Amino acid sequence: MTYVERTIPKISLKNKDQRREEIKDQLFYAAKNIGFFTLCEQDCPSRDDIEEMFQLSQKFFGLPHDAKMKTPHIKLLNSGFESCSQIRPSTGTADQKESLQLQYHRINQNWPAEEDVGREWREKTKAFMEKCQQLSNFVMELFAEALGYPTDFFTKAHIISSDTAQTTLRLLHYFDTSGRKFDGNFWRAGPHTDFDCLTLLFQRTGDHGLEVCPGREAHTDFGYSDKWTPVPSKTGDIVINIGDMLMSWSDDILKSNFHRVRLPTPDENQGDRYTIAFFNQANTDVVIQGPLKKYPPVTGKEFIEEAMRKNFERLQNVA
Ligand SMILES: O=C(O)CCC(=O)C(=O)O
Ligand SMILES: [Fe+2]
């Protein structure tokens, strides 16, 4: 396994409305090359908002297993709680983690109950999703403009309050590995690309392990090289990466690259690792096709279904 030093661009959002053009250039450059970049000095969500969301997440994961299983993962909706059940086609082993996936419009359907997480949990989580959406919209507007599309091209396809929404907030908890020995191909999260448009990832200072492997030319490619680069972790900053849906929608101009979270080595922090991901996925009824028509048109629903199908097909090939 080789490590290569690369710069993960760090882009400040200070006075972002006055610096729109400058930020647009920086985002476009980062998205065309490495597909990963870090946003900092944003007003919203603030560092306090992010820290509060981590506390809410820890509150949920601290519940007894039975309480967490009251909102089980529903594959068809890609929502709910799962533990050690996500098997990546790249590894054939289950990720060493548990997660809760939430969709804004399903707050009364598959979200933790007030009796378990307390009165304010849902409202605060909902407000955090709104803040994530607001920031995502700013980034998606700039990508649309940089690609020469109308400003609202992507944002009007991501309406989280609609019944057709697919955007998901995923709370992630990677287990403490102290004293544990893993034989074989085990990962906190095996190598994969995201299949959404844009992922906002919140990490905490010291919770290392995320690594990226740039170089993908087409969103349909499954191969990746062995040249990885660590992505720094800092509480309050926001790591953004491009997913397959946006790579396709930009005719492969913006790059969705492989990334993974490796298990800590004995001389690293082996404690619990918490992260939060906000996956922007276009509404089910939106048609996805870039202006060059490099790929046939598909709806948001078909895109996600196909991504899931491919992942499971590969899994069968591995097995
Ligand atoms: O937790 C992380 O650092 C990355 C998670 C991730 O890549 C994912 O859930 O898709
Ligand atoms: Fe990912």
pLDDT digits (tens, 9 = 90+) for 119-135: 899 999 999 999 999 99
Three-state DSSP class for residue 291: coil
- In this structure, what DSSP letter does residue 220 have? T
Whole-number Å distance, alpha carbon 243 to ligand 2 midpoint, is 8
- Residue 169 CB–ligand 1 contact under 6 Å: no
Please tell me the predicted confidence (pLDDT) of residue 1. 67
CA 316, CA 134: separation in Å to the nearest integer?
39
Three-state DSSP class for residue 102: strand
118 confidence band (pLDDT: 50, 70, 90) = very high
Please tell me the predicted confidence (pLDDT) of residue 3. 95
CA 6, CA 13: separation in Å to the nearest integer?
22
Whole-number Å distance, alpha carbon 199 to ligand 2 midpoint, is 8
Ligand that lies nearest to the alpha carbon of residue 192, given by its number in the listed order: 2
Tell me the mean pLDDT in the region 292-308. Answer: 94
Please tell me the predicted confidence (pLDDT) of residue 92. 87
pTM for the full predicted model: 0.96
Whole-number Å distance, alpha carbon 261 to ligand 1 midpoint, is 7
CA 37, CA 253: separation in Å to the nearest integer?
16
User: How open is the CA angle 193-52-209, to the nearest 5 degrees?
Assistant: 35
- Residue 275 CB–ligand 1 contact under 6 Å: yes
User: How open is the CA angle 16-20-22, to the nearest 5 degrees?
Assistant: 105
Please tell me the predicted confidence (pLDDT) of residue 319. 36
Please tell me the predicted confidence (pLDDT) of residue 256. 98
Please determine, for residue 146, whether its predicted confidence score (pLDDT) is greater than 80. yes
- Residue 259 CB–ligand 1 contact under 6 Å: yes
Please determine, for residue 316, whether its predicted confidence score (pLDDT) is greater than 50. no
Please tell me the predicted confidence (pLDDT) of residue 267. 87
Asked whether this complex has an ipTM greater than 0.90, the answer is yes
